[in-house]
């Protein structure tokens, strides 16, 4: 299992594996420790922690926007993945907040792409996790995003884009396909940036065409949906390293993020019927 990892810590060797066994950290699903000579039945689960490979620290702090006995709502920085996956384990919002709060039951109710910043909702107790995750699955959460892209004065707003999108595991780009519509995005409004804002962006991203803020309201949650729809409209997001072209990993600059911000979430609380709305205080250039 360790040998098959693409992002393996160089010190995760046979000695490190033996140390796990010695410490009783290799266990059955029931928590019973295993030894190297334990016999396993076909299909039996074995649990152990891998040693995370070194990760580049992601700049920025996670701001807590709201907290009660069930929920923790935060403002996630750009470049911080939502959940541990592949080469991003410790530098994720879930791991950071579990360490900060000491609550290992903390779990995201939805997901933001790693390059996207903004409002992210966690549940604090396993007993309530499903209720809030189902809100997102049933599309009962109103989501507002803000994106920065080239200004286009030929487009009329509001406008709604409807397509079918699919993304295969292991492929960086999603794609448009034929079939039943599963991705719907409304562009509610657009505002061209003033000279000061344009200059602030050019100081980070270099010379660029006049930019604008697009208010996006997705009615579905397909992977890369907003990035795909903006790209299809001829308005790829400023700083996007995947659309229209996939750039190499070393092209990523942690000082020049993709300009997509999850501005707010609103929903009716499934537990007590309260109308809730959470918004980031982050501005588009942070």
Report the predicted TM-score, pTM, of the whole model to 2 decimal places: 0.86
| Mean pLDDT, the chain cut into blocks of 10 residues (286 residues total) | 77 89 92 92 89 86 97 97 86 96 97 96 97 96 98 90 94 95 96 95 96 96 96 97 92 94 98 97 70
Q: What is the 3-state secondary structure (H, E, C) of 77-138?
A: CCCCECCCECCECCCEHHHHHHHHHCCCCCEECCCCCCCCEEEEEEECCHHHHHHHHHHHHC
pLDDT of residue 122: 98
Helix ranges (H only) for the chain are: 14-22, 93-101, 126-137, 195-205, 225-232
pLDDT of residue 250: 84
Domain residue spans of the chain? 1-54, 63-279
The rounded distance, in Å, linking the Cα atoms of 178 and 173 is: 17
pLDDT of residue 284: 64
Q: Classify domain 63-279 by CATH architecture.
A: 2-Layer Sandwich (3.30)
pLDDT of residue 91: 93
Question: Of 87, 136, 141, which Cα lies nearest the Cα of 107?
Answer: 136
């Amino acid at each position: 299992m360790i040998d098959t990892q693409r992002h393996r810590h160089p010190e995760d060797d046979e000695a490190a594996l033996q140390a796990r066994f010695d410490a009783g950290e290799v266990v059955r699903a029931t928590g019973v420790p295993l030894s190297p000579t334990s016999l396993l039945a076909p299909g039996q689960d074995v649990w152990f922690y891998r040693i995370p490979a070194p990760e580049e620290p992601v700049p920025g702090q996670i701001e807590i926007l709201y907290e009660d006995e069930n929920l923790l709502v935060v403002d996630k920085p750009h470049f911080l993945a939502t959940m541990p996956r592949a080469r991003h384990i410790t530098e994720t919002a879930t791991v950071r907040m579990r360490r900060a709060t000491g609550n290992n039951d903390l779990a995201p109710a939805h997901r933001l792409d790693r390059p996207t910043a903004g409002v992210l909702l966690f549940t604090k107790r396993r007993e309530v996790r499903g209720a809030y995750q189902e809100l997102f699955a049933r599309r009962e959460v109103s989501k507002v995003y803000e994106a920065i892209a080239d200004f286009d004065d030929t487009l009329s707003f509001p406008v709604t884009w409807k397509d079918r999108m699919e993304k295969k595991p292991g492929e960086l780009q999603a794609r448009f396909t034929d079939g039943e519509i599963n991705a719907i995005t409304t562009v509610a409004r657009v505002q061209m940036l003033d000279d000061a804002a344009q200059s602030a962006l050019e100081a980070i991203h270099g010379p660029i065409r006049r930019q604008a803020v697009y208010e996006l309201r997705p009615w579905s949650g397909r992977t890369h949906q907003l990035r795909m729809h903006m790209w299809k409209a001829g308005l790829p997001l400023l700083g996007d390293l995947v659309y229209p072209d996939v750039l190499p990993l070393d092209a990523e600059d942690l000082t020049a993020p993709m300009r997509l911000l999850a501005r707010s979430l609103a929903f009716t609380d499934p537990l007590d019927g309260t109308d809730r709305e959470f918004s980031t205080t982050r501005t588009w250039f942070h």
